[in-house]
Amino acid sequence: MAKRRMMRGSIALAEGAITAGCRYYFGYPITPQNEISEHLSSRLPEVGGVFLQAESEIASINMMLGAAAAGARAMTSSSGPGISLMQEGLSYMAGSELPGLVVNITRLGPGLGGIAACQGDYWQATRGGGHGDYRLIVLAPNSVQEMHDLAIRALHLADQYRNPAMILADAILGQMMEPVNLEPPLVEIPPKPWALTGARGRKAQLIKSLYLADGEMEKHNWKMYAKYQRLQEAEVMVEEDLEEQMDLLLVSFGSCSRMVNSAVALARSRGYRVGHIRPITLFPFPSREIREASRRVGKVLTVEMNTGQMWEDVRLAVHPGTLCRLLARPGGAIPAPKEIFEEIEKFVRAGDHFAENIC
């Protein structure tokens, strides 16, 4: 039976991971995600799991790599600078096709980074982040319920595709409290015949990311590419709030999409016909959905809490000739619904010259 409880985003995420059968957490303190570690430090031992605080993020990601290689469902969480330190390990995991969940409760801006909400890690998350030709599976919740549900989803996708997955959220989602429906315990973890479990009774196997024989590395990279194509075909998650006839389409993700939802409601109450597409998976990106909707509307406004990172993916996705415009707040400020509404109003009324970019 589903239980409904008032919960903080970080705690809901941690509980989601436990529900998904994740029993191994490796982490290192950094604000604003410490609630995840603190909660799991007492919860995991209760369910027979392991909580381990590492001496750095480099250590925690490589502990996760070790656990994943042994066949465990494992996770880590961090924020901005800590996620940057993890990139080498993430690249190794992707190259070795090892699953795992990384949670990034982002920080604001490059360098030390403030702890206000921001979406500046979009490129790092969706382009792989570390060295080499790889992708992360990236899910972007916009509610406490989704912090819980997408943690479960991300762990499943990671195992299914043998690839690290990331939850990209921010301090708003990590700290705020909302009612959550807790799913009853779920599905079993898929078998992992590739895992290193001791070679007793079977042939020894090898997990590695480096292939030296002529042409082998290229073959390996094409194999991973094919996997990312399969993800693109089968695993796109998107929330579409479209109308029959539209003057304007908005695209936004994560916490920012909540303000866009309010702006859309405001615009509709004033008689504007606007639609909203919210990518839930940032990789794979819902390019097809955005192309189809933009064909019908012609004008697309992207709203982001960065200088326009997802905007690049939107412009790659839209139907040729679409007018594209960006409302960006990269400084830790949250775009108010009224500010978004004014931009909607201007863009709908204006001629083509108002668009910053025509694709």
Partner 1 sequence: MATSIREMSKKPEILTGGHRLCAGCGASIAVRQVLMGAPDGVHLVVANPTGCLEVSTTIYPYTSWNCSYIHCAFENAASTMSGVEAAFKSLQRQGKIKEDFRFVVFGGDGGTYDIGFQALSGALERGHRMVYVCYNNEAYMNTGIQRSGATVLGTWTTTSPYGENSFGKTQNRKDMTAIAAAHNIPYVAQASISHWRDLVRKAEKAFAVDGPSFINVLSPCHRGWRYPMEQTVEVAKLAVQTCIWPLYEVEDGKWHITVKVRDKKPVEEYLKTQGRFAHLLKEKKYAEALPLIQEYVDQEWEKLRFLSGEQE
The shares of helix, strand and coil residues in the chain, as percent rounded to the nearest 5, are: 40, 20, 40
34 versus 232: smaller Cβ distance to partner 1? 34
Cα–Cα distance measured from residue 119 to residue 1, given in angstroms and rounded to the nearest whole number = 36
Q: Least CB distance from residue 206 to partner 1, whole Å?
A: 29
112 versus 212: smaller Cβ distance to partner 1? 112
48 versus 198: smaller Cβ distance to partner 1? 48
**DSSP states of 241-273 as a string?**
E--SS-SEEEE--TTHHHHHHHHHHHHHHTT--
Q: Least CB distance from residue 278 to partner 1, whole Å?
A: 31
Give the binding site for partner 1 (CB under 8 A): 28-31, 34, 37-38, 41-42, 45-46, 51, 53, 55-57, 81, 85, 112
66 versus 81: smaller Cβ distance to partner 1? 81
32 versus 279: smaller Cβ distance to partner 1? 32
Report yes or no: 273 and 300 within 8 Å, Cβ to Cβ.
no
Residue 108 DSSP code = B
Q: Least CB distance from residue 102 to partner 1, whole Å?
A: 18
Q: And the tokens for 272? A: 């504007």
H-only helix segments in the chain: 9-19, 34-46, 57-69, 80-85, 87-95, 122-126, 144-161, 171-175, 216-234, 256-269, 287-297, 309-317, 337-349
Report yes or no: 235 and 284 within 8 Å, Cβ to Cβ.
yes
Cα–Cα distance measured from residue 183 to residue 151, given in angstroms and rounded to the nearest whole number = 12
Q: Least CB distance from residue 46 to partner 1, whole Å?
A: 8
Q: Least CB distance from residue 80 to partner 1, whole Å?
A: 11
114 versus 298: smaller Cβ distance to partner 1? 114
Q: And the tokens for 215? A: 């042409």
19 versus 37: smaller Cβ distance to partner 1? 37
Q: Least CB distance from residue 38 to partner 1, whole Å?
A: 4
Backbone dihedral region for residue 129 (phi beyond 0: left; psi -120 to 50: alpha; all else: beta): left
Q: Least CB distance from residue 53 to partner 1, whole Å?
A: 5
